[in-house]
Amino acid sequence: MMTTLTFDAPADPILERRRRIQSVASASLRRRKNYSRVAIGVCWVFLAVAIVPLIGVVAYVVIKGLPAWNADFFTQVTEPEGIPGGGVWNAIVGTAVIGAIATAVAVPVGLLCGLFLAESDGRIAGAIRFTADVMTGVPSITIGIFGYIAIVKNTGHYSGLAGAFAIGIIMLPVIMRAGETAIRGVPFHLNEAALALGARRATVARRVVVPAAMPGIITGVLLAVARGLGETAPLLLTIFGNQYLQWNPTKPMEALPLVIYNYSSQPYADLVQVAWGAALLLMVVVLVLSIGSRVLAAVLQREKR
């Protein structure tokens, strides 16, 4: 009589480890789902804590500033204390001129520096990057003092150019860092493909890298412009203010932040109303630039795909 011996095959350690992991994950699934719900709820609570004050400020400015908006508000210049009426047309022109000059200078310089930072990791690039980070956190009043010393004291008078100089310094590090981040986000194989075809590095940067990074660049530029237009302290020390319409940037000019600062503390109700209207106008401009930058970047990103 013959007996047959049977041997159990050894279990696969990988499969056994996978079964143990799956059993542990199944046992803790409900607990992990509860933790996830609690974490999501906490995030929603903090989101509400952050949004509710913002909505409250926006609503309050709209309620207080909207009654000041009429045809004269957008077409007339500011009036002296005690004279009713007037508008902020001179401040709108001054803000537009100062912002245009600052943007025209800061954008090319900032993008060139951002391209250099994206293409280089040496000591010079590290020093420039560190300087840009420090400048981003410098108080705006310090930039205003620098603009006053560098431009106003040397020229002997206040001017829109001095204000544009100070605003441009505030915008420059934002554009630099945004440009560097956008350019670094371009896939490196595009660079390699263009270089393999015999293109020079300058041509690759101009024809390939910058167009591919354009959504991020535009977003950074518009956010920098929005920040620069809302600054008050640099303008207090550089443009002086002007109750008359002035297009010449070499002369003292008016600006919306300056109108808000000067008129909000006046004892005249009509001037306080003008300040609220100017605050609403400036808030709308900043919101349009901020939201528009996101929308434009999304549209360009979708077209690129």
pLDDT recorded at residue 305: 60
Walk me through the domains of the chain, giving residue ranges and CATH numbers.
66-304 (1.10.3720.10)
3-state secondary structure the chain: CCCCCCCCCCCCHHHHHHHHHHHHHHHCHHHHHHHHHHHHHHHHHHHHHHHHHHHHHHHHHHHHHHHHCCHHHHHCCCCCCCCCCCCCHHHHHHHHHHHHHHHHHHHHHHHHHHHHHHHCCCHHHHHHHHHHHHHHHCCHHHHHHHHHHHHHHHHCCCCHHHHHHHHHHHHHHHHHHHHHHHHHCCCHHHHHHHHHCCCCHHHHHHHHHHHHCHHHHHHHHHHHHHHHHCCCHHHHCCCECCCCCCCCCCCCECCHHHHHHHHCCCCCHHHHHHHHHHHHHHHHHHHHHHHHHHHHHHHHHHHHC
In this prediction, residue 11 carries a pLDDT of 59
Portion of the chain with pLDDT greater than 70, in percent: 94
What are the residues whose beta carbons fall under 8 Å from the beta carbon of 168, sequence distance 6 or more?
A: 101, 102, 103, 105, 106, 228
Could you tell me which of 238, 229, 213, 206 has the C-alpha nearest to residue 278?
Answer: 229
Given the structure tokens 């979708």, which residue do they identify?
302
Q: For residue 253, list its beta bridge partners.
A: 240
User: 10-49 pLDDT, tens per residue?
Assistant: 556 777 777 777 777 777 777 888 888 999 999 999 999 9
Q: Are the beta carbons of 142 and 233 closer than 8 angstroms? A: no
Region 267-271: mean pLDDT is: 85
301, pLDDT greater than 80: no
Chain centre to alpha carbon of residue 78: 30
Higher pLDDT, 61 or 200: 61
Which pLDDT score is estimated for 30? 79
Judge whether 228 and 290 are in contact, CB under 8 Å. Answer: no
What pLDDT is stored for residue 304 in this prediction? 63
Q: Is the pLDDT of residue 9 over 80?
A: no
Q: What is the pLDDT of residue 10?
A: 58
Q: Say what the pTM is.
A: 0.81
Under the banding of pLDDT at 50, 70 and 90, the label for residue 200 is: confident
pLDDT per residue over 41-62, tens digit each?
A: 999 999 999 899 889 999 999 9
